[in-house]
């Protein structure tokens, strides 16, 4: 039972003037209600000004606010709280049937103590792809500490695997690596690579996060990245960064521009010859290295865990995994990259292809697989077709499409350019790919002419779609988040792609939904802004700002 008397303030979005006249009397009768007031647009700037004035003038100690919104962002009336010390208790109203009951209930509930919430002025960014990198740099530049945790030995994510980006044909590594390099250089960012988040406890403003860093068997403080360990290592692995098209040694960096440029040993599967240790001049090899556990205390979390590619084996009619020359979008990127296994040459069985067919919407817009559109595939296939045209002048290049979605800035122009480069667009999803002699045959129907066709090809590129990461369910549970019907992290509402229903946890990049690089970077900066706003509530920030 509250000692202070409560004022019920109704906004006209909840109850009209007439309704208030009706119910007002009843409400005033309720034990503990001092007064019933009303006003316009209480959540707006002027509305809050009025609230603040009234609270101060009338000495209101406790306020129940009736509003129509089913859910208001928690910080809506933050200004009122800060300027008056009174935190309005929101009662979302659907109708006035149970209004009196609900007011009684709200009054009789014990008010939560008016403590200033603790906000640790630090952020955790999970995932070191372009989204995580951008968010980290922005939050750090806003003056807050950032822990960037990345699962792989290097940051960079999928963008580091791309050759050129659409529509400008910028070299992906060239626009990414400057940002990558800025990360460890930034005083506010602590980069923890080859590590995963294993536990998240606490609440917004005061999260306690456990991060486990796997042993590289290389002392990062001593390793100079010289690579002599890899030179002397006799054991090869399929290179994961190169989509298993090329090889790496047991002592490796995933790619030459890795950040941090520190080697990692796949010690579980190596020969244990000991040569890397002998050859290392810096004495950086440490076979007894154990995993390191970090306990971090942060105010908010940005989730930027990225995406997986659709598993093309789920469409067996396209022969992926059966035929050597049916490859996926990312595999093509590695092949055409100068840092890839062929040095950028487009080669099939050692020779350039003569007839290339792209198939769009593999796994996307598909009743049997993912119903959504993967958003980037039309453009990346056009880009890849362009790259083939550049490298193999007289190859026949066909793109089998359903629709061409070239919606972004410069996209439509790029699509037209690619068509002018003699890339043929044939409408209709092929039904099957099979082998005839030395060549593959793509069978489909041209839905514009209505004619069935069999198209020969010696290279087929499947534009596989963006899907959620295989472990997104586990990560969602870890973070207390939901997944949407397609398995991506759920945003708070369709109009706000960054906030999640869990306060203090924000989303950036493809982990929320498929998107291209410009949109990812924009969303990442948006997430950084949200994080910075949240963290600006910390005592430290207030001291600095309000001093």
Residues 156, 103 contacting (CB under 8 angstroms)? no
Q: Which is nearer to another protein, 102 or 345 (CB)?
A: 345
- Does 306 help bind another protein (rule: CB under 8 A)? yes
Q: Which is nearer to another protein, 324 or 544 (CB)?
A: 324
Place of tokens 């530049």: 141
- Does 319 help bind another protein (rule: CB under 8 A)? no
Residues 275, 233 contacting (CB under 8 angstroms)? yes
CA separation for the pair 249, 230 (Å, rounded): 6
CA separation for the pair 507, 79 (Å, rounded): 25
CA separation for the pair 326, 212 (Å, rounded): 38
- Does 268 help bind another protein (rule: CB under 8 A)? yes
Which residues fall within 8 angstroms of residue 57, CB to CB, at 6 or more apart?
Answer: none
- Does 291 help bind another protein (rule: CB under 8 A)? no
Residues 379, 516 contacting (CB under 8 angstroms)? yes
- Does 489 help bind another protein (rule: CB under 8 A)? no
- Does 19 help bind another protein (rule: CB under 8 A)? no
Q: Which is nearer to another protein, 91 or 279 (CB)?
A: 279
- Does 157 help bind another protein (rule: CB under 8 A)? yes
Closest CA to 317 of 354, 280, 369: 369
- Nearest distance in Å: CB 349, another protein: 9
Q: Which is nearer to another protein, 73 or 321 (CB)?
A: 321
- Does 278 help bind another protein (rule: CB under 8 A)? yes
- Does 481 help bind another protein (rule: CB under 8 A)? no
Burial class (CB in 10 A: 0-12, 13-18, 19+), 361: buried
Q: Which is nearer to another protein, 96 or 216 (CB)?
A: 216
- Does 235 help bind another protein (rule: CB under 8 A)? yes
- Does 474 help bind another protein (rule: CB under 8 A)? no
- Does 240 help bind another protein (rule: CB under 8 A)? yes
- Does 273 help bind another protein (rule: CB under 8 A)? yes
Q: Which is nearer to another protein, 28 or 238 (CB)?
A: 238
Q: What are phi and psi of 542, to 5 degrees?
A: -65, -40
Q: Which is nearer to another protein, 33 or 149 (CB)?
A: 149
In the sheet that holds 206-213, the strands lie side by side as: 195-203, 206-213, 292-298
Q: What is the DSSP string of 74-121?
A: TTTTHHHHHHHS--PEEEE-S-STTHHHHHHHHHHSPPPP-PPPP--S
Q: Which is nearer to another protein, 37 or 275 (CB)?
A: 275
Interface residue with another protein, options 69, 226, 279, 402 (CB under 8 A): 279
Q: Which is nearer to another protein, 84 or 370 (CB)?
A: 370
Place of tokens 């002392």: 219
Which residues fall within 8 angstroms of residue 263, CB to CB, at 6 or more apart?
Answer: 216, 218, 223, 225, 227, 229, 230, 251, 252, 253, 284
- Does 266 help bind another protein (rule: CB under 8 A)? yes
Interface residue with another protein, options 54, 138, 308, 516 (CB under 8 A): 308
Residues 425, 404 contacting (CB under 8 angstroms)? yes
Q: Where are the beta strands (DSSP E) in 43-121?
A: 62-67, 89-92
CA separation for the pair 252, 236 (Å, rounded): 10
CA separation for the pair 92, 316 (Å, rounded): 52
- Does 465 help bind another protein (rule: CB under 8 A)? no
- Nearest distance in Å: CB 302, another protein: 17
Interface residue with another protein, options 7, 162, 218, 243 (CB under 8 A): 243
Q: Which is nearer to another protein, 244 or 291 (CB)?
A: 244
- Does 238 help bind another protein (rule: CB under 8 A)? yes
Q: Which is nearer to another protein, 325 or 370 (CB)?
A: 325
Q: Residue 79 carries which DSSP code?
A: H
- Nearest distance in Å: CB 281, another protein: 9
Burial class (CB in 10 A: 0-12, 13-18, 19+), 405: middle
- Does 247 help bind another protein (rule: CB under 8 A)? yes
Q: What is the DSSP string of 339-382?
A: TSTTTT---BTTB--SEEEEEEEESSS-TTS--S--SSHHHHHH
Please work out the total of residues on this chain that contact another protein, with binding judged by CB under 8 A: 52
- Does 256 help bind another protein (rule: CB under 8 A)? no
- Nearest distance in Å: CB 310, another protein: 9
CA separation for the pair 284, 277 (Å, rounded): 8
Stretch that binds another protein, among 24-32, 244-252, 502-510, 519-527 (CB under 8 A): 244-252
- Does 236 help bind another protein (rule: CB under 8 A)? yes
- Does 458 help bind another protein (rule: CB under 8 A)? no
Provide the binding-site residues for another protein, judged by CB under 8 A: 151-152, 157-158, 161, 228, 231-232, 234-238, 240-241, 243-247, 250, 254, 266, 268-275, 278-279, 306, 308-309, 311, 313, 321, 324-325, 327-328, 330-331, 335, 341-342, 347, 469-471
């Amino acid at each position: 039972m509250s000692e202070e008397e409560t004022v019920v303030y109704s906004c006209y979005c909840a109850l009209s003037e007439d309704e208030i006249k009706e119910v007002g009397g009843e409400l005033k009768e309720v034990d503990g209600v001092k007064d019933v007031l009303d006003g316009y647009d209480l959540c707006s700037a002027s509305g809050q000004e009025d609230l603040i004035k009234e609270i101060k003038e009338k000495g209101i100690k406790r306020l129940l606010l009736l509003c129509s919104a089913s859910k208001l962002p928690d910080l809506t009336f933050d200004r009122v709280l800060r300027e008056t010390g009174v935190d309005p208790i929101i009662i979302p109203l659907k109708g006035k049937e149970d209004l009196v009951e609900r007011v009684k209930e709200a009054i009789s509930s014990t008010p939560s103590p008016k403590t200033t919430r603790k906000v640790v002025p630090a952020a955790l960014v999970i995932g070191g792809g372009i989204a995580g990198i951008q968010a980290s740099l922005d939050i750090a530049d806003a003056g807050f500490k950032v822990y960037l945790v990345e699962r792989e030995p290097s940051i960079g994510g999928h963008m580091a695997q791309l050759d050129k980006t659409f529509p400008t044909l910028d070299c992906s590594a060239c626009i990414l690596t400057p940002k990558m390099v800025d990360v460890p250089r930034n005083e506010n960012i602590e980069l923890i690579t080859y590590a995963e988040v294993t536990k998240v406890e606490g609440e917004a403003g005061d999260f306690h996060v456990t991060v486990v860093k796997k042993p590289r068997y290389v002392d990062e403080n001593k390793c100079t990245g010289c690579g002599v360990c890899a030179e002397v290592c006799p054991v090869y692995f399929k290179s994961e960064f190169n989509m298993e098209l090329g090889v790496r040694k047991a002592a490796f960096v995933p790619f030459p521009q890795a950040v941090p440029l520190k080697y990692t040993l796949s010690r579980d599967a190596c020969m244990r010859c000991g040569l890397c240790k002998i050859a290392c001049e810096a004495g950086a090899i440490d076979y007894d290295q154990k995993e390191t556990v970090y306990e971090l205390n942060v105010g908010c979390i940005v989730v930027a865990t990225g995406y997986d590619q659709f598993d093309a084996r789920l469409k067996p009619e396209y022969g992926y995994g059966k035929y050597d020359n049916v490859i996926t979008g990312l595999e093509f990127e590695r092949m055409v990259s100068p840092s890839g296994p062929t040095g950028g040459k487009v080669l099939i069985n050692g020779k350039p292809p003569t007839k290339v067919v792209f198939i769009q919407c593999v796994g996307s817009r598909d009743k049997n697989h993912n119903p959504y559109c993967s958003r980037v595939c039309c453009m990346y296939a056009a880009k890849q077709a362009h790259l083939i045209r550049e490298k193999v002048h007289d190859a026949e290049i066909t793109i089998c499409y359903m629709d061409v979605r070239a919606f972004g800035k410069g996209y439509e122009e790029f699509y037209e350019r690619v068509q002018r480069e003699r890339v043929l667009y044939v409408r209709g999803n092929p039904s099957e790919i099979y082998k005839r002699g030395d060549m593959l045959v793509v069978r489909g129907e041209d839905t514009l002419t209505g004619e069935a066709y069999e198209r020969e090809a010696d290279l087929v590129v499947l534009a596989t779609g963006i899907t959620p990461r295989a472990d997104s369910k586990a990560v969602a549970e870890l973070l207390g988040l939901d997944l949407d019907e397609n398995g991506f992290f759920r945003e708070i509402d369709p109009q706000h792609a960054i906030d999640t229903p869990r306060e203090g946890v924000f989303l950036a990049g493809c982990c929320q939904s498929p998107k291209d690089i410009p949109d990812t970077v924009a969303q990442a900066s948006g997430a950084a802004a949200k994080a910075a706003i949240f963290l600006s509530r910390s005592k430290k920030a207030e001291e600095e700002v309000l001093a």
